[in-house]
Structure 1
Amino acid sequence: MNARRPPDDPLPETGRLAGVDYGTVRIGIAMTDPDRILASPWDTYVRRSPSLDEQYFVRLAREERLVGWVIGWPIHLDGNESGKSREVTTFAHRLRETTGLPVALQDERFSTAFAREVLGEAQLTRKKTKARIDRVAAQILLSAYLESHRAATGQRLDQPDGPTGGFRGPGSLDD
């Protein structure tokens, strides 16, 4: 039996994207603003059942007018797939099929470690850190996707197109 390849679709050039840090218990979610100037932590979704999870993501895509997903791709330091890669592949295919939106993969090496470091510097309590870590990891991987896409298209990283502003979602660090 051949292993199912993960989706890695081209994403539309404009519109709002969601970053996803997949977990078996919790899924961290980050969002871009419509102009893709920045990514912000959005939510930490606690998984319930396959059908309820699908309903959540379909509703999220519709309500937030998403045009695509960026999912963290768990690989080892040497670039080989990890044990979690198969789970992410299954999740990515299901997300694409249920929402009808394209899915791109983003290397997520160090995203959770970096999120822990960032939250540690914020001097939050252990409970608040745990509640925010997944969505901050999603923000980090979504920001990495935006930066790599800007670099690949020749867009200056310090001055993205569009207006700047303080986009904030319900999962910001001030919650």
Structure 2
Amino acid sequence: MSSVRRGRRLAVDVGDARVGVASCDPDGVLATPVETVPGRDVPAAQRRLMALVEEYEPLEVVVGLPRSLNGAEGPAALKVRAFAEELAKNITPVRVRLVDERMTTVTAAQGMRASGVSSKKGRSRIDQAAAVVILQSALDTERVSGEPPGQCVEVVV
């Protein structure tokens, strides 16, 4: 069994209305919710994420990349790529990685319903839960493969 690089990570689930954020412990064992950032004002969301990066000092930030079930990328993926590229510029030298997030919101919503959280009350928490699912999946992938998950966002200056 491979291991995970030591260091805290942040995960981001980018949506139109909200951005869910999760983090993990320095050993990469457990992902936990951090907060939901309002997402409609992108510059404000970027500033809040920069502040969280400063506070948590992560090894990297993992951003969920929405793909259709067949793996294709649509308009939502383009938006997330642009968001991740902007974030990568703002938080250099911390790396940003894009990871496949197919089904994470569905998984998160099912988990929330199973724990008795109503969808109305749970909307902002679902975004955090989706970020937890993204991060836990990235950690598990790295643990199995021994390689950092997903694809690194290159910062073009």
* TM-score interval for Structure 1 and Structure 2 normalised by the shorter chain: 0.7 to 0.9
Amino acid at match of 2:42: P
- Deviation string for 1:110-142 (max 9, x for gaps)? 100111100001112333221210000010011
Tell me if 1:151 matches 2:144: yes
**Contact between 2:19 and 2:38, CA under 8 Å: does it hold in 1?**
yes
- Deviation string for 1:41-73 (max 9, x for gaps)? 111111353332222111110111112111101
In structure 2, the residue corresponding to 1:94 is in which secondary structure? Answer: helix
Determine the structure 2 residue equivalent to 1:62. Answer: 54
Residue 53 (structure 1) aligned to one of 17, 41, 45? 45
Residue 111 (structure 1) aligned to one of 77, 89, 104? 104
In structure 1, the residue corresponding to 2:70 is in which secondary structure? Answer: coil
Q: Distance in 2 between matches of 1:50 and 1:79?
A: 26
Tell me if 1:14 matches 2:12: no
| Greater radius of gyration (CA) | 1
Determine the structure 2 residue equivalent to 1:139. Answer: 132
Query: More helix per residue: 1 or 2?
Result: 2
Unaligned runs of 5+ residues in structure 1 are 1-11, 155-175
In structure 2, the residue corresponding to 1:84 is in which secondary structure? Answer: helix
Unaligned runs of 5+ residues in structure 2 are 148-157
Residue 124 (structure 1) aligned to one of 111, 117, 127? 117
- Deviation string for 1:91-125 (max 9, x for gaps)? 01001000112111111111001111000011123
Amino acid at match of 1:129: G
Amino acid at match of 1:122: S
Q: Distance in 2 between matches of 1:49 and 1:129?
A: 21
Tell me if 1:86 matches 2:69: no
| Alignment root-mean-square deviation, CA | 1.7
Q: Distance in 2 between matches of 1:58 and 1:139?
A: 19
Q: Distance in 2 between matches of 1:47 and 1:141?
A: 18
Identical counterparts, % of pairs: 31
Residue 44 (structure 1) aligned to one of 7, 28, 36? 36
Q: Distance in 2 between matches of 1:50 and 1:132?
A: 19
Superposed structure 1 runs of 4+ greater than 6 Å apart: none
Structure 2 length normalisation: TM-score? 0.85
